[in-house]
Amino acid sequence: MPVRISNKCRTAAARFLLALSLACGAIFGSGYSQATAFEIGRAINIAQWFTWPRYEAAPATGILWPPYKNVPRPPDEAELAALKRSGFDTVRLPVDPAPFIVFEGERREEVYRILFSALAKIRGAGLNVIVDLHPNSRHPVWGQHAVAAGIVSPAFSAYLGVVEEMARRLDAHAKHAALELINEPRVKCAGAEQLRWQAMAKRLVGSARAGSKRLTLVLTGACVSSLEGLLALDPQAIGDPNLIYTFHFYDPFSFTHQGASFIPWPDKYLDEVPWPASKRPIEQSLALIEKRVAAAPKLDDTARQRAADGARANLQKYYRSNAGAALISERFAKVAEWAKVHDIPAKRIFVGEFGVIRKAAGSAGALCEDRMQWLHDIRATAEQFGFNWAYFNYDGAFAIVKTDTDRRLDPDVLASLGLLNKTVCQDGE
DSSP 53-104: EEEPPTT---EEEEEE--SSPPP-HHHHHHHHHHT--EEEEEE-SHHHHH--
pLDDT value of residue 70: 83
Q: Quick one: pLDDT band at residue 403, thresholds 50, 70, 90?
A: confident
Condensed to tens digits (0 to 9), the pLDDT of residues 132-159 reads 999 998 888 999 999 999 999 999 999 9
pLDDT value of residue 424: 83
pLDDT value of residue 8: 41
pLDDT value of residue 71: 79
Average pLDDT of the chain, as a whole number: 91
- The mean pLDDT of 179-195, rounded to a whole number, is 97
Q: Using the Cα atoms of residue 320, residue 322, residue 329 and residue 389 in order, give the sign of their dihedral.
A: positive
Neighbours of 255 (CB within 10 A): 24
Residue 386 lies in a domain: yes
What is the distance in angstroms between the CA of the first residue and the CA of the last residue of the chain? Answer: 90
Q: How many domains is the chain partitioned into structurally?
A: 1
Residue 186 lies in a domain: yes
Neighbours of 339 (CB within 10 A): 21
How far apart CA 341 and CA 245 sit, in angstroms, is 14
Residue 202 lies in a domain: yes
Separation of CA 284 from chain center: 33
Q: Quick one: pLDDT band at residue 2, thresholds 50, 70, 90?
A: very low
**37 vs 168, more confident:** 168
pLDDT value of residue 326: 97
**Domain at 377, CATH number:** 3.20.20.80
- What is the residue range of 167's domain? 42-255+323-416
Condensed to tens digits (0 to 9), the pLDDT of residues 87-110 reads 999 999 999 999 999 999 999 999
Express as a percent the part of the chain with pLDDT over 70.
91
Residues 170 and 212: beta-carbon distance below 8 Å: yes
Residue 20 has pLDDT above 50, yes or no: no
Residue 201 lies in a domain: yes
pLDDT value of residue 428: 63
Q: Identify the CA nearest to 129 among candidates 182, 178, 86.
A: 178
Cis bond before residue 264 (omega within 30° of 0): no
Residue 160 lies in a domain: yes
Q: How far is CA 258 from CA 252, 356, 425, in A?
A: 10, 8, 19
Please, how many CA atoms are within 13 Å of residue 370, restricted to the half-sphere of its CB? 25
Residue 230 lies in a domain: yes
- The mean pLDDT of 200-225, rounded to a whole number, is 98
Condensed to tens digits (0 to 9), the pLDDT of residues 296-316 reads 988 999 999 999 999 999 999
Residue 285 has pLDDT above 70, yes or no: yes
Cis bond before residue 281 (omega within 30° of 0): no
Q: Identify the CA nearest to 256 among candidates 181, 361, 328, 304.
A: 328
Residue 24 lies in a domain: no
pLDDT value of residue 23: 35
Residue 411 has pLDDT above 90, yes or no: yes
Q: Identify the CA nearest to 395 among candidates 374, 410, 373.
A: 410
Any idea how long the chain is? 429
Q: Quick one: pLDDT band at residue 37, thresholds 50, 70, 90?
A: confident
- The mean pLDDT of 51-76, rounded to a whole number, is 91
- The mean pLDDT of 242-249, rounded to a whole number, is 98
Q: Quick one: pLDDT band at residue 429, thresholds 50, 70, 90?
A: low
Residue 171 lies in a domain: yes
Q: Quick one: pLDDT band at residue 3, thresholds 50, 70, 90?
A: very low
